[in-house]
Structure 1
Amino acid sequence: MSETVIAVLGLGEAGSLIAADLVTAGATVRGFDPRVAPPPGVIAARDDADACRGASVVLSVNSASEAAAALRASLPSCAPGTIWADLNTSTPDLKEFLRTEAAGAVDVVDVALMSPVPGKGLRTPMTMSGESAEALAGILAGFGADVVVLDGPVGTAATRKLLRSVFYKGMAAAVVEALEAAKVAGLEEWLRGNIAAELIKADAATLDRLVDGSHKHAVRRREEMAAAAELLDSLGVPSRIAGASRDWLEDLKTRRP
C-alpha cells in the first residue's frame, strides 16, 4: 500500500489522540498547533500550510472559530484532490461556507465526532457527509476508524450531531443544575441516587412517556416547573434549565404533538 500522508490541524485533546492512533496504524502524519507540541511520531510542521504539503487528507480539528482561517491559510499548499475533513463541531451553515470557500480546490467533507474522543481516539464513532465522504471513509476505515457515511451534502453530519447535542448536552445541563440546587439544600446524595436509578431503568418507552406526558400534562407541569424555578432562585442557584422548562411547557399548552 502506498504511503498515506495525513495532516492534522489542531493538536488539542481530540486532535492529538486521533493523530497518535493514525501514526500507530501506519499513516504518515504531519501536525500543527500553535499552542501544543505534536505527540510522538507526528511530524511537527511550522504552520497549517506546512502541515498540508504532500497530504492527501487534512483533518481540521482546531475549533469552529478557526476553521475558515485554517482553510484559507492552507489552500495554497493543498494539491488538487486533497480531502479536507472538518471535524469541528459547528453549524451546517459553516460547513457549507467552508465548501464554498474552498471553491473546488479541495474536497470538503463534513465530519461529526459522535462521542467523546478520550478512550477511543481514532475509533470514536464518526458520521460524515459530502461528495467525498465515501472516499474519506475508505481511507480512515483502513486505519481502524469507526465511520458511517450519511447520504447528503456537507452539513448533514453536523445537523445530526447538533440535534443530538440539544438532548444530550441539555440533559447534562439539567442534571448539573439540579445537583447544584440539591447540594445547597443538603440533598445532593439523595438526588444523585434518584437520577442514577431513573437513568438505569430508562428504556425505549421512556421517550414516549416524556414526549406524550409533556403535551398531555403541560398545564400542571408548567406550574410544577414554575415552582421549581422559584425554589432554585430562593436557594441562590440560577434557574436556567428549570425556567426554560417552564417556558416550554407554557408553549406546549396550546400545541398538540
Structure 2
Amino acid sequence: MTVVAVLGLGEAGSLIAADLIAAGATVRGFDPRIAGEFGGDAEACAGADVVLSVNSAADAAEALRASLPALKPDAIWADLNTATPALKEDLAALFPRTVDVALMSPVPGRGLRTPMTMSGPAARSLASILEGFGADVTVLDGPVGTAATRKLLRSVFYKGMAAAVVEALEAAKAAGLEEWLRGTIAAELIRADAATLDRLVDGSRKHAVRRREEMAAAAGLLGDLGVPARIATASRDWLLQLAQER
C-alpha cells in the first residue's frame, strides 16, 4: 500500500489528503502551524513513498531539511507550493528526487483532481502513483522549475487581470459608477475570443503613445478619487516603454 505524507493541512493539503485516503492511500499528515515546530515533519515522512509538501513557499526548504533524515532514498518529494523556479531547484539540490508540482486551478471543489503540471526526473514516477488515485496530471519535459515557470507566467496574466479589475471597480465605486463598469467588464469578457489577444498586443504597440497619455490621465483620475493607481501607473509605464521601442 502506498504511504503518502502530506505536510501542510490547510485548505489545499487537507482536501488532497482526504481524497487520497478515500482512494485507498495510507496518509500521514503534519502541519507545523498547528504543532508549532518542523520536527514532526520527519516523523510524518518516515517510511513514506511520496511526500506532498503543501505548506508555503516560505516554509518549503525548512520542511525538506527537517525531513531529510527520515526520507527513504527512493522516496519522492513533491513540492506543491507556489514558488520560484530557483527555490524548486534549491529543493532538488537538497533531495534529487524532488518533483516540481504546480496546481493549475483552485483546490476547493476539486481536491486531488485539481489539474497539476509537474516536472523533474521523478515526475513520471509521481504521476503514475497519483493518477492511480484519480489525480489529473500533466508531466512536462524539463528539469525541476519548468512547472513553476509555466504557472507563474500564467499568474502574471490571471492575477494581473484580477488586480486591474479590482482597481477599476474601486475607482468606479468612488465615482458612483460601479454597476455600470461591472456590466461593461462582463460584456467585454463575454465577447472575448481568440482574436482578442492579438488585438490587445498589437493595439498596445501600435497606439502606445496615445494610450500612455490615456493611462496617465486615468491614473490622475484615480488619484482625484482617492484610489491608489497601482495598475494604471504600471500600464502607463509599460506603454511608455513600448512607445520608446518603436
One-letter amino acid of the counterpart of residue 111, structure 1: V
Corresponding residue number in structure 2 for 1:16: 14
CA deviation profile, 1:234-253 (whole Å, cap 9, x unmatched): 00000000000000000000
1:36 offset after TM fit, Å?
A: 4.6
Corresponding residue number in structure 2 for 1:31: 29
Provide the rounded CA distance (Å) in 2 between the counterparts of 1:184 and 1:243: 18
TM-score normalised according to structure 1 size: 0.93
Corresponding residue number in structure 1 for 2:126: 136
Provide the rounded CA distance (Å) in 1 between the counterparts of 2:13 and 2:102: 13
Flag structure 2 segments of 5+ consecutive residues without an equivalent.
none
One-letter amino acid of the counterpart of residue 26, structure 1: G
CA deviation profile, 1:57-111 (whole Å, cap 9, x unmatched): 0000000010000000001111111000000001000000001122x4xx10000
CA deviation profile, 1:103-154 (whole Å, cap 9, x unmatched): x4xx100000011111111011100000000000000011010000000000
After the TM superposition, which residues 106-185 of structure 1 pair with which residues of structure 2 at under 5 Å, given as runs? 107-185=97-175
One-letter amino acid of the counterpart of residue 30, structure 1: R
Corresponding residue number in structure 1 for 2:70: 77
Flag structure 1 segments of 5+ consecutive residues without an equivalent.
38-44
1:54 offset after TM fit, Å?
A: 1.4
Corresponding residue number in structure 1 for 2:240: 250
The alignment partner of 1:254 has SS state of helix
Provide the rounded CA distance (Å) in 2 between the counterparts of 1:255 and 1:148: 38
1:255 offset after TM fit, Å?
A: 2.1
1:46 offset after TM fit, Å?
A: 7.6
The alignment partner of 2:227 has SS state of coil
1:192 offset after TM fit, Å?
A: 0.6
CA contact (8 A) 1:32 1:46 kept: no
1:34 offset after TM fit, Å?
A: 2.9
CA deviation profile, 1:219-243 (whole Å, cap 9, x unmatched): 1100110000000010000000000
CA contact (8 A) 2:39 2:66 kept: no
Corresponding residue number in structure 1 for 2:204: 214
Aligned CA distance change for structure 1 residues 64 and 46 (closer, same or farther; 3 Å): closer
Structure with the higher helix share, 1 or 2: 2
Provide the rounded CA distance (Å) in 1 between the counterparts of 2:230 and 2:104: 26
TM-score normalised according to structure 2 size: 0.97
Provide the rounded CA distance (Å) in 1 between the counterparts of 2:34 and 2:88: 25
Provide the rounded CA distance (Å) in 2 between the counterparts of 1:56 and 1:68: 19
- Output the aligned Cα RMSD: 1.3
1:51 and 2:44 aligned: yes
Provide the rounded CA distance (Å) in 2 between the counterparts of 1:34 and 1:160: 29
One-letter amino acid of the counterpart of residue 11, structure 1: L
Provide the rounded CA distance (Å) in 2 between the counterparts of 1:187 and 1:36: 45
1:254 offset after TM fit, Å?
A: 2.1
CA deviation profile, 1:149-190 (whole Å, cap 9, x unmatched): 000000000000000000000000000000001011011111
